[in-house]
Amino acid sequence: MPKIPRYLITISDERTWKFNRPVLFLGEWCRLYDRKHIWNKMDAIVAAPYGLGKSQKDVDYNLARELEEKLFSILCNIMNEFHNTKLSDRFWRILLGHWLSRFVDVILNRVNTLERCLETYKINGTTAFSVDDYALAPLDSNAAIWAFNDDRWNNALYIRILNHLGVTNFPVEVIPETKSDRITSSIAATEIPIKKRIRELGYRTSSKISRILARENDAFIINSYLPRNEVIKFQLALRQVPQLWISPEFSLTKKPDLVLRKNLSSQIPEAKSSTLFGIMCSLIFELLPICYLESFTELNEVTQQMPWPKKPRFIFTSNNFDTDEVFKLWAATKVESGSKYITGQHGNNYGTYRYMCPSNEEATADKFLTWGWTDGLPQHKPAFIFNIAGHTAEAYDPNGGLLLTEVHMPHRINTWDGTSEFDDYFSDQKKFVNELNSSPKSILTVRLHSAFTHLKWSEVARWQEFDSTLKLDTGSLPIEKVIAKSRLVIHSYDSTGILETLSQNIPTLAFWQNGFDHLRDSAIPYYQLLLDAGIVHLSPESVAAKVNEVWDDVEGWWSQIIIQDARKQFCDKYAKISKKPINELVILTTY
């Protein structure tokens, strides 16, 4: 343990900092880039990140899923008793399974991060906002994701955990909060473009008319990830009037009842324990979203008023199964009554990602439609890549520029320190650019992820400080138009974009950190094909060397037999193209 005692800083809010003594930042999330002129002058170190490396991630993932199962059983029983219901485990999985998984991962991360810190460093104090009436319960599961990133919320959670751990060997200074310190239910709303608003109004108007001809047992299809034209064709093939359903926005009026939540927690004997599972038991009702407890009746009333089919023969979505509370409660209710529930793949990671095996939407569905793969569940039904179904291949320019696509800093919802890992990721991006020859570098476009503005990483400022001559694309154009002006697309992470460009035979390269550590064993041979062909690279230096090598004849390189064979084999498994997508869907959804 370092000999110098340090003051623990858990968040980026500088009101909780001390500037006149040695301090310890709990993680990189505390040190905002636009405040480095402040923290650079401090006697400060950053605690070693928790949970990195494949072996530790494996251990934590397996433990998290084991604890999740135990918690789920407890939660179902208490929820049924409280709401005076006898709803099935599957009902509750559909409704709150995604939130529960994130809750377990987050608490495991926060507890182990604090315990590792206390074991490694000598702490002489920390600061907390007043927590007497502060509620950790968000409105819904979407708000929970943003709460997990919130300074004020995390500060309160860390203090709760320290209390549960019985840490008394250093003082906690309490400071008052202001009204603005309370977390919001979600991110700030963004202005919707006028063209999009007019288009959505048109869809809503036409839907009102077509609903007159809808039947109670029509298949219900919402956010299928299919292009709208294909959704219409699909419904016509099912011999029903096409509907473009939109889930409503809703507001809840109830606030968290802290006394009620404390009483519910007291029903769990393990909640008195200071073990990891005991802390989860003690916190689960403190963090449970309001929509599942105090506002459950309100939410149920909203679902009952929806003009959706009363007895749908099947329900199909590739998106709304996670944070759409109205849809989830409605779907869970219909499934209880006998409707079939079909979910579909939404982007990459499905079938390949080591730490999503299986996802909640796979486990709860009667059928899960994949983009070509199967991996152990009877629900898995191989289909095709949905979002480009019925499209002609996107264009690219053989004489165009170089495109580098970026990912945003992750939400703090994993068992490991994603902020520290992202710091390494960004260093790799700069290494890649540095290794480029002048010709490709001069026409390089760095495409930032659409979510970059919502998280505190300051990508634009970081890139501009690194090289002010670089062209940054902040999402002003659709990605298809940017690709159309490029001769070569570089994916800097294992992304949906890789599946899309490979399936459309667009010259593609990819690189990422940590090798194949994130992959399931069953997926590694297919990624090895891409690695052997020189499409995938495991270092920024390697992929930059490939760009420099092929730049003057990208098409010649891309058309090589070894490249095309690897691409086709990979896509046949993970990004299939269908010549008759509607015919396939009708067969896959027939009972």
Whether residue 290 lies inside any domain: the answer is yes
Residue 547 pLDDT: 98
Q: Please indicate, yes or no, whether residues 229 and 334 belong to a single structural domain of this protein.
A: yes
How many other C-beta atoms lie within 10 A of the C-beta of residue 311? 12
Q: Please indicate, yes or no, whether residues 366 and 408 belong to a single structural domain of this protein.
A: no
Whether residue 152 lies inside any domain: the answer is no
Residue 211 pLDDT: 67
CATH number at residue 470: 3.40.50.2000
Average pLDDT on 554-560 reads 98
The span from the first CA to the last CA of the chain, in angstroms, equals: 63
Q: Which helix (H) or strand (E) holds 328?
A: helix 325-336
Whether residue 306 lies inside any domain: the answer is yes
Q: Please indicate, yes or no, whether residues 26 and 58 belong to a single structural domain of this protein.
A: no
CA angle 61, 64, 66 (to 5 degrees): 110
Q: Does the pLDDT of residue 201 top 60, yes or no?
A: no
Q: Please indicate, yes or no, whether residues 215 and 294 belong to a single structural domain of this protein.
A: yes
Residue 208 pLDDT: 61
**CA distance linking residue 389 with residue 384, whole number of Å:** 8
Average pLDDT on 3-24 reads 96
Mean pLDDT, rounded, of the chain = 93
547 contacts 572 by C-beta, under 8 angstroms: no
Structure tokens, 524 = 């590694």
**CA distance linking residue 146 with residue 105, whole number of Å:** 15
Longest Cα pair distance anywhere in the chain, in angstroms? Answer: 76
Residue 182 pLDDT: 60
Q: Please indicate, yes or no, whether residues 410 and 324 belong to a single structural domain of this protein.
A: no
Residue 187 pLDDT: 36
Q: Does the pLDDT of residue 184 top 50, yes or no?
A: no
Whether residue 156 lies inside any domain: the answer is no
Residue 391 pLDDT: 84
489 contacts 501 by C-beta, under 8 angstroms: yes
Q: How confident is the model at residue 133 (pLDDT cuts 50, 70, 90)?
A: confident
Q: How confident is the model at residue 421 (pLDDT cuts 50, 70, 90)?
A: very high
- One-letter-per-residue 3-state SS of 146-163: HHCCCHHHHHHHHHHHHH
Q: What are 536-549's pLDDT values in tens digits?
A: 999 999 999 999 99
Average pLDDT on 419-445 reads 98
Whether residue 128 lies inside any domain: the answer is no
Q: Please indicate, yes or no, whether residues 349 and 470 belong to a single structural domain of this protein.
A: no
Question: Which own/partner pairs from 469-472 qualify as long-range (CB within 8 Å, at least 24 positions apart)?
Answer: 470/433, 470/444, 470/446, 471/444, 471/445, 471/446, 472/445, 472/446, 472/448
Q: Please indicate, yes or no, whether residues 349 and 363 belong to a single structural domain of this protein.
A: yes
Q: Does the pLDDT of residue 42 top 80, yes or no?
A: yes
Alpha helix stretches (DSSP H) within 188-324:
194-210, 228-237, 258-265, 276-287, 296-304
Crossing angle between the packed helical segments 418-435 and 540-550, to the nearest 10 degrees: 30
546 contacts 534 by C-beta, under 8 angstroms: yes
Q: Please indicate, yes or no, whether residues 214 and 297 belong to a single structural domain of this protein.
A: yes
Q: Please indicate, yes or no, whether residues 348 and 438 belong to a single structural domain of this protein.
A: no
Coil vs helix vs strand at 341: strand
DSSP-derived letter for residue 519 is B
**Percent of the chain's residues with pLDDT above 90:** 87
Q: Please indicate, yes or no, whether residues 496 and 356 belong to a single structural domain of this protein.
A: no
**CA distance linking residue 238 with residue 503, whole number of Å:** 27
pTM: 0.94
Whether residue 177 lies inside any domain: the answer is no
Residue 368 pLDDT: 98
Average pLDDT on 147-165 reads 96
305 contacts 56 by C-beta, under 8 angstroms: no
Peptide bond into 358 cis (omega under 30): yes
DSSP-derived letter for residue 226 is S
Q: Residue length, the chain?
A: 591
Whether residue 173 lies inside any domain: the answer is no
Residues of the domain holding 25: 6-46
Q: What are 362-373's pLDDT values in tens digits?
A: 999 999 999 999
Q: Please indicate, yes or no, whether residues 226 and 107 belong to a single structural domain of this protein.
A: yes
Q: What are 157-170's pLDDT values in tens digits?
A: 999 999 999 998 99
Whether residue 255 lies inside any domain: the answer is yes
Q: Which helix (H) or strand (E) holds 445?
A: strand 444-447
Q: Please indicate, yes or no, whether residues 561 and 586 belong to a single structural domain of this protein.
A: no
Q: What are 574-586's pLDDT values in tens digits?
A: 999 999 999 999 9
Number of domains in the chain: 3
